[in-house]
Amino acid sequence: MDNKVFGLTFLAVLASAIVFFGIANAGSYAVDNLLFSSEEYGDNTYIGTTDVSNMEVASAVLTVSSSFDSWKQNAALFVRFQDATAEYPLKHAEALVEETTSQAQSGQQNNVVITLPEAKTRSFLESNFPEVAFSETDIQNITSTLEQALAAGQTETRVDISDDSLTAEKLIVSETSFPHDLASDGADLVIEELDGMQIAPESQFSLLAVLAELNAWDITDAELTEIASVIYSTVLKTNLLIDERSIGATQPASIPLGFEAAISQDLAIDLAFTNPNHNTFTLNVDKAGEMITASLTALPFVYDYSVQTGGETEIEPRLIKQYSAFVSSGTSVKENGADGARIEVSRAVFDDNEELEVEPVSTDFYPPIHRVEVYPLEKPDVASPGDATDPEGEDTGNPDADQGQGDLIVEDPENPGFDLNGYPIIFDENGDIVQNGQNDGGSDTDTGNTNSDKQNGDEQSDEPVYDKSGKLINP
């Protein structure tokens, strides 16, 4: 009996010990694995820029928290809206470390869960971009965008918030009007196609590319130049980037100096520009009466743009005189000529009337068209012996005259080096006419006279004679 009682008592004590031991171990497991998990991250595990490889979760919490505090002191967040950039203050940014570590995946790059107060975002936007009326929805979306951008934990982060998701109102940001000479149906078709055209973010506009999709065959390059020029002038007053623009040889009458954008379909001369912004621009072109107008509609700019011209110079044409045997008297004007011009164009950027930057745009040069006048060939009368002032009866006023013969030698303008009768002309070292081939042949008969040959030889030995090419032929 006593043995039986002892056995039961022993079994009861043993069972109780096992139960208490199990409960104790279960509690320890719960504390270690549920309250203070001892799970470790694997190799190549990062939270933000912090390496937590082979680190327990509890230790990772402390490491990430410390790293975030250090990061916040040195990090910078730059927010861009259209053409302006401002730095967002990060002193109110907070990291949800426990949520971050619990979501982190072992062996991967993980983001840090960061929160920004919407009130601080609203204050930042109103202070730096007052031109824009941001709605509450805009502020919420922008705050979320900034939080996601910061999650990578980079030292410097840049975010553009001026995208088409904003509910802020779009405005006409630039507009230009020119007088025009457009008359063709093709011009109307091109204007209709351009009116309302969307220029997507970070995309290029090309006028020739637009024309390639149309059948505007009756439009001239001059008309296209007028349309392109008013668009070019409108683009200059924004932050859009000019990729291709040319000018013609002469300044068009209806386009202000410095604002021409020449177009040639045959030579593929184009007007092209790029929208560097993150929102869509709308191009509108309209022809009303004698004026053509182009405008761009988009989210408002923070800065003001002004196109400036300077250094305008008028270049006078030269007078070119031509001589022709086909003009008997008077003067014939072959080309009236026209003034040339040079002008420098630049773009200035202002912030509340304070000049921030001046960017050179172009130096346009139109060469002058020289005036060309055509005169008759001069044929001075041969003086008679009685009228000559020279005792020998020579006409000393005409070096091209044959002094000994008294005949006038005139070079044929259509056949240089020969006279009007087709005989070759002999020139001296100064380029003056000495004789022609016909007279030269006659003088050869005089070489039979010894006295004459001696006299002529003495005279000619002092004056060398050259042909038209400059080759010495005498002595």
**Number of neighbouring beta carbons within 10 Å of residue 45:** 21
Q: Is residue 294 domain-shared with residue 362, that is, in the same domain?
A: no
Enumerate helices (H) and strands (E) in the chain, giving the number of each.
Answer: 10, 25
Q: Residues near 398 by Cβ (< 8 Å), separated by ≥ 6?
A: 380, 408
Q: Is residue 389 domain-shared with residue 433, that is, in the same domain?
A: yes
Task: Specify if 1 maps to a domain.
Answer: no
54 HSE (CA, 13 A, CB side):
1
Q: Is residue 314 domain-shared with residue 284, that is, in the same domain?
A: no
**In this predicted model, what pLDDT tens digit does every residue of 322-376 receive, in sequence order?**
888 887 778 888 899 999 999 999 999 999 889 999 999 999 999 999 999 999 9
Q: Is residue 292 domain-shared with residue 184, that is, in the same domain?
A: yes
Task: Specify if 13 maps to a domain.
Answer: no
- The percent of the chain in helix, strand and coil, each rounded to the nearest 5, is 30, 30, 40
CA 390 and chain centroid, separation: 71
pTM for the whole structure: 0.69
Strand 46-47 with 109-110, pairing = parallel
- Number of compact structural domains in the chain: 4
Q: Is residue 137 domain-shared with residue 185, that is, in the same domain?
A: no
Q: Kindly report the backbone phi and psi dihedral angles of residue 60, in degrees, each rounded to the nearest multiple of 5, phi listed first.
A: -65, -35
Produce one character per residue of 343-358: b if its CB has 16 or more CB atoms within 10 Å, e if not.
bbbbbebeeeeeeeee
**In this predicted model, what pLDDT tens digit does every residue of 405-429 receive, in sequence order?**
445 566 665 665 666 677 776 655 4
DSSP assignment, residue 35? Answer: I
CA 126 and chain centroid, separation: 33
**In this predicted model, what pLDDT tens digit does every residue of 159-211 receive, in sequence order?**
999 999 999 999 999 999 999 999 899 999 999 999 999 999 999 999 999 99
Task: Specify if 35 maps to a domain.
Answer: no
Tokens representing 472 are: 């010495």
DSSP assignment, residue 32? Answer: I
Distances (CA, A) of 191 to 145, 204, 216, 230: 39, 19, 11, 12
The residues pairing with 209 across neighbouring beta strands, listed in sequence order, are none
Task: Specify if 198 maps to a domain.
Answer: yes
Distance CA 443, CA 164 (A): 96
Give the residue from 300, 165, 178 showing the smallest Cα distance to 231: 178
Q: Is residue 269 domain-shared with residue 177, that is, in the same domain?
A: yes
**In this predicted model, what pLDDT tens digit does every residue of 198-256 receive, in sequence order?**
999 999 999 999 999 887 778 999 999 999 999 999 999 999 999 999 999 998 888 99
Give the confidence band of 42 by pLDDT, cuts at 50, 70, 90.
confident
Q: Can you list the alpha helix ranges (DSSP code H) found in 31-158?
A: 57-74, 97-103, 118-128, 136-150
Q: What is the mean pLDDT of residues 37-66?
A: 84
Q: Is residue 124 domain-shared with residue 179, that is, in the same domain?
A: no
CA 333 and chain centroid, separation: 41
Q: Which of 274, 301, 328 is the last residue of a domain?
A: 301
Q: Is residue 52 domain-shared with residue 139, that is, in the same domain?
A: yes
Tokens representing 380 are: 């001075």
CA 452 and chain centroid, separation: 79
Specify the higher pLDDT residue, 61 or 390: 61
Q: Is residue 129 domain-shared with residue 208, that is, in the same domain?
A: no
Which CATH number do you get for residue 356?
2.20.230.10
Q: Which of 284, 301, 318 is the last residue of a domain?
A: 301
Q: Which of 246, 281, 301 is the last residue of a domain?
A: 301
In this prediction, residue 392 carries a pLDDT of 46
Burial class (CB in 10 A: 0-12, 13-18, 19+), 162: buried
Task: Specify if 40 maps to a domain.
Answer: no
Question: With pLDDT > 90 as the criterion, what percentage of the chain qualifies?
Answer: 53
Distances (CA, A) of 291 to 178, 181, 182, 226, 294: 5, 9, 10, 11, 10
Task: Specify if 18 maps to a domain.
Answer: no
**In this predicted model, what pLDDT tens digit does every residue of 433-467 receive, in sequence order?**
556 555 544 444 443 343 434 344 444 445 555 45
Task: Specify if 389 maps to a domain.
Answer: yes
What stretch of H or E contains 170? none
Q: Is residue 342 domain-shared with residue 232, that is, in the same domain?
A: no
Which residues span the domain enclosing 103?
46-160
Task: Specify if 22 maps to a domain.
Answer: no
Q: Residues near 252 by Cβ (< 8 Å), separated by ≥ 6?
A: 222, 225, 226, 229, 260
Q: Is residue 114 domain-shared with residue 202, that is, in the same domain?
A: no
Q: What is the DSSP string of 194-244?
A: HTTEEE-TT-EEEHHHHHHTS--TT--HHHHHHHHHHHHHHHHTSSPEEEE
Q: Is residue 308 domain-shared with residue 296, that is, in the same domain?
A: no
